[in-house]
Structure 1
Amino acid sequence: MTKIKLCGNFRVDDADLLNQVQPDMAGIILAPGHRRTVNLMTALKIRQRLDDHIPLYGVFMNQNIADILTLFTSGLIQGVQLHGDESELEVTILREKHVPVIQVVKPEQALLPTTANYILLDNGAGSGKTFDWEIVPPKPLRHAPIMLAGGLTPINLQEAITQAQPEWVDISSGDEVSGIKDLAKMQKLVDIAHHNPN
């Protein structure tokens, strides 16, 4: 099956929805200044309500690696998504501390060598816009599992998986109605991803 990460959760109640639909990974934005950014108290409450077996990844953008490590070692998050201009050295430092890392790159950078656990392909900084999925490199050429992101919805997810053959898909705005997480959309997305062989 294709695995799925539902990201951009910003209300404590979102944890209850995640528990119902059971994605393979959940995400919260800990980078400042975004609509879905959560503070540490909200992040803690989400983690406490979320099923223990759903890992919670924090999204960061050009933030202090020591601070990120503190959040990881505290148990608040189980992995990190680097969405800025972080260097391979910073990825390596996190990996040496056994932190699972999702490295976000533009689609044309998909084949750059990395020590990250996953490569997330996105058109921009959470742009919510699709790109030409045919440029995703085939599996034999990949350095790490590919996470496909950018404008994925219940309407186009199947087509995206068929074309790009990603190991993972990552959805943030595509599971919302009027800016709020929607249980029916979340369930549909999880169902589509999990019914695809990988």
Structure 2
Amino acid sequence: MDQIRVKICGLPDKAHVEAAVTAGAAYLGFVFFAKSPRHLEIADAARLALDVPPGVAKVALTVNATDAELDAITGAVPLDMLQLHGTESPDRVAEVRARYGLPVMKAVGVAGPEDLAALDAYGRVADQLLVDAKPPKGAALPGGNGLAFDWRLVAKKYWPCPWMLAGGLTPLNVAEAIRLTGARQVDVSSGVESAPGVKDAELIRAFIAAARGAVPA
């Protein structure tokens, strides 16, 4: 059976990049969104990305970024994937994918059954889907809020492209989330932090161990 693939998002420094890589993360997420406590300057992200070994995907998380912003990020940071975490339309996802020649992961917030149709639409234009908890009304951040959703909504669902489960995952609940949904990939940010934007190496290790030891139903 293939191992569960884990993305650690919002990494702030070399020590936590190393902790995630050593623990077996398949993806590392770098956040480019000024309102987030996990925001990185482009030069800092470029330095971190250069230390990532081959085989671990480097992902840039952006929110409604303009072409100019994406040009600056992709021109300086060696990346393997772009993550669009805003209100980008399917057309915009396709446009970004064509312009930059990088795989695109589109985050889609889920709170109820009415949100599932968007996953089909985005799944036809993105390379991957990030199925996340929909942020509450008025939230400053589109993700990383530590909120979960009813995982039964996406249990045993299949979309036109691979998907990753996110939203409120922690070392204590990730195995159950995988069991309930059948997810083969999971993403965590706030669930491995001791404070907003402050990653904890022990929590990173515990999360990856719990995820990789889980058995999807």
TM-score, structure 2 normalization: 0.82
Residue 99 of structure 1 and its aligned partner are, at CA, apart by 1.1
Runs of 5+ unmatched residues, structure 1 = none
SS in 2 for 1:111: helix
Q: 1:39 deviation in Å?
A: 0.3
What residue number does 2:63 align with? 61
Which residue is equivalent to 2:120?
111
Provide runs of 4+ in structure 1 moved above 6 Å.
none
2:175 equivalent to 1:173: no
Query: What 5-or-longer segments of structure 2 have no aligned partner?
Result: 136-141
Which deviations, in whole Å up to 9, do the C-alpha atoms of 1:76-97 show, x marking residues without a partner?
A: 2221110111121221123224
| SS of structure 2 residue aligned to 1:92 | helix
Q: What letter corresponds to residue 115 of structure 1 in structure 2?
A: V
Q: Which of residues 141, 144, 155 is equivalent to 2:161?
A: 144
The whole-number CA distance in structure 2 between the counterparts of 1:81 and 1:36 is 15
Trace 1:76-115 onto structure 2 (pairs within 5 A): 76-96=78-98, 97-107=100-110, 108-109=115-116, 110-112=119-121, 113-115=123-125
Structure 2 CA distance for aligned equivalents of residues 98 and 166 of structure 1 = 27
CA shift digits 1:106-136 (9 cap, x unpaired): 2223333431111111122112101000001
Partner deviation per Cα, 1:7-38 (whole Å, 9 max, x = no partner)? 01112322221232120000011122211100
Greater Cα offset, 106-115 or 41-50: 106-115
Letter of the 1:32 counterpart: A
Is it true that 1:135 corresponds to 2:159 in the alignment?
A: no
Structure 2 CA distance, aligned partners of 1:54 and 1:87? 28
Match of 1:187 among 205, 209, 213: 205
Contact 1:72 1:79 in 2 (8 A): no
Partner amino acid for 1:90? R
- SS of 1:27's equivalent in the other structure is strand
Residue number in structure 2 paired with 1:51: 53
Paired residues for 1:28-47 under 5 Å: 28-47=30-49
Q: 2:11 aligns with which of 9, 12, 37?
A: 9
AA of the residue aligned to 2:213: H
Matched, 1:121 2:131: yes
Deviation at 1:151, TM superposition (A): 0.8
- Look up the SS of the partner of 1:9 in the other structure: coil
SS at match of 1:105: strand
Whole-angstrom distance in 2 between the partners of 1:65 and 1:77: 16
Report the number of matched residues. 197
Structure-2 separation of matches of 1:67 and 1:101? 16
What is the rounded CA distance, in whole Å, between the counterparts of 2:126 and 2:184 in structure 1? 15
Contact 1:81 1:104 in 2 (8 A): yes
Contact 1:69 1:94 in 2 (8 A): no
Equivalent pair of 2:82/2:103 in contact (CA under 8 Å): yes
Taking the aligned partners of 2:95 and 2:87, their CA distance within structure 1 comes to 15
